[in-house]
Amino acid sequence: MAEKQEVVDYSLANPDVLTKYKVAATISEKVLAEVSKLCVAGEKIVTICQKGDKLIEEEVAKVYRTTKHKGQSHPTTVSPSSFVTPYTPLASDPTESAVELKDGELVKIQLGAQIDGFGSIVCDTIVVGASDKVTGRSADLILATYYANELLLRLMVPPGTLASGTDEEKAKAAAVKAPTQTKITTLLEKVAKAYECSLVESTTSWVFERNEIEGKKKIVVAPGEGGKGDGTPELGEVWGVEMGLSLSDSGKVKNLEQRATLYRRSANTYILKSQNARKTLSTIQNKYGHFPFSLRQLEEEGGDTKFKAGVFDGVRSNVLRQYEVVGDKEGSPVARLLTTLAITKNGVTKLGAPPALDLSKYESDKKIEDEEILKILEQPLSRNKGKSKNKKKKPAKKSGEAQAEEGGDDEE
C-alpha cells in the first residue's frame, strides 16, 4: 500500500512560512539600503544593478544553508526619472550600459530576495544627490507618493480586523464592506491632486503565493482601457502593494524605445523545439524559477552565447513573459513604492518595505485637507502591542498633513 504523501502547509498559519518571508524581507531591505548608497551622480546604472544582484546572492547564501531553493525574487533594477517599470540595462549594450545617474534625478530602486519560494520585493524612490532639504516639484511628488502609499496600506486592512469594544460593535465593524477598487482609486486621486500629481495608469498590487508574485488577486489603481482588478484583501494573505505617482497631468504611460531585458517564467508549458531554447529554459528554471530575472544575468553567467535566441523562442511560445519598458507618456518624473505585507488577525505587518520617509527633509507648500483622507491616515495598520501608550503623535489636522503611523510587527 502506497504511503500518503505529506501535505505541506504553505500558508501563514505555518510559522515557518512567515519566518521565511521575514528573512527574505530583511535581506531585501538590507540590500535596498546598500544600493541606495550607490546611487550617486555619475554612477552607471548597470554597475549599480550588478552590485545589487551580487549583494542579494551573498546575503541569501548566509541563511538556510541547507535550502537549495533560494535567491532573488526580483533582480536589482534602477529606473530613471520618467521610467515606470523596473529597468536593468544589458552590460553588452554600449549605449544603455553607459547611462549614468544625474544629480537631482528621481530614481526607483526595486529588488527582492526569496527563501524556499517565499519572496519579498521592495521598491523605493530617491533623489540622487539630495543631502539636505528637497523642495519644489520633487518634494511634492515624493510626499504625494508617500501619503498615497500609506493610505493604500490602510485600505488593505479587512473591515473589523482592528475593531474593539463589545462583540456587537466588533460584528458591526466586520460587516462593513471593503472599499471597491473604484473607491480606492477615487481616494488615492484626492491625495495626488492635493500635491498636483497624477496616479500612474494601471498601478497594480498583487497577492503573493509560494513561487508566485502575481497571484489570483490584484488591485489595479487608475486602470487603463480594458484593465480591472479582481478580489479584495483577506486575512492570511501576503501582498505586494505598489504605489506610483507622476508629475504629469494624466499619469498615462507609453512603451519606451529601450529594449525589454526583464523576463519571468510563465505558468504555461510547451516543449521548445530547439536544443538551445530548452537549455536556456532549464537554466532559467533552475536558477530563477518563476521569479523575474534579467537578460544581463544570463550574460554574466558566461553560458551559451545563444541564450538570447533561446529566450526569444521562450517568449514566442509563451513559456516566458517579457516585461516591456514603460514610462510616463509626457516624459514627466515618476515616483514608485512597493511594500510586501502580511494581513493577519492583528492587522497589516510590513514584511519588506522602503525605509520610513524623513518628512522633515521634504518641503512643500501643498498639503492634504480632505477630512476623509486625514481620518483614514490617522488609523493604525495593526494592534501595537507592547508599545507605549504615552507616545505623543503630531496631530494631522493641525499641520494639514496626516502623520501616518508605521505598521506594527505583530505576527498572527
What is the per-residue pLDDT for 3? 59
- If asked whether residues 253 and 287 sit together in one domain, one would say no
What is the per-residue pLDDT for 4? 63
- If asked whether residues 105 and 173 sit together in one domain, one would say yes
- The strand pairing partners of 293, in sequence order, are 263
Instruction: Provide the CB-side half-sphere exposure for 249 (13 A, CA).
Output: 0
What is the per-residue pLDDT for 130? 86
Q: Is residue 10 part of a domain?
A: no
CATH of the domain at 70: 3.90.230.10
Give 172's contacts (C-beta < 8 A, 6+ positions apart).
none
Residue ranges of the chain whose pLDDT lies below 70? 1-5, 301-305, 385-412
The angle subtended at Cα 260 by Cα 254 and Cα 264, nearest 5°, is 115
- If asked whether residues 291 and 310 sit together in one domain, one would say yes
Residue 350 domain boundaries: 15-259+333-378
- Residue 374, C-alpha cell as written in the block: 486625514
Q: Could you give the 3-state DSSP secondary structure of residue 209? A: strand
CATH of the domain at 301: 1.10.10.10
- If asked whether residues 208 and 277 sit together in one domain, one would say no
Q: What are the CA-CA distances from residue 288 to residues 90, 223, 273, 280 (Å)?
A: 18, 30, 22, 12
- If asked whether residues 201 and 316 sit together in one domain, one would say no
Q: Is residue 69 part of a domain?
A: yes
Q: Is residue 404 part of a domain?
A: no
Question: Sign (positive/negative) of CA torsion 27, 33, 35, 38?
Answer: negative
The amino acid occupying position 246 is S
- If asked whether residues 120 and 36 sit together in one domain, one would say yes
What is the per-residue pLDDT for 385? 56
- If asked whether residues 208 and 70 sit together in one domain, one would say yes
Q: Is residue 308 part of a domain?
A: yes
What is the per-residue pLDDT for 395? 38
- Tell me how many domains the chain contains: 2
What is the per-residue pLDDT for 5? 66
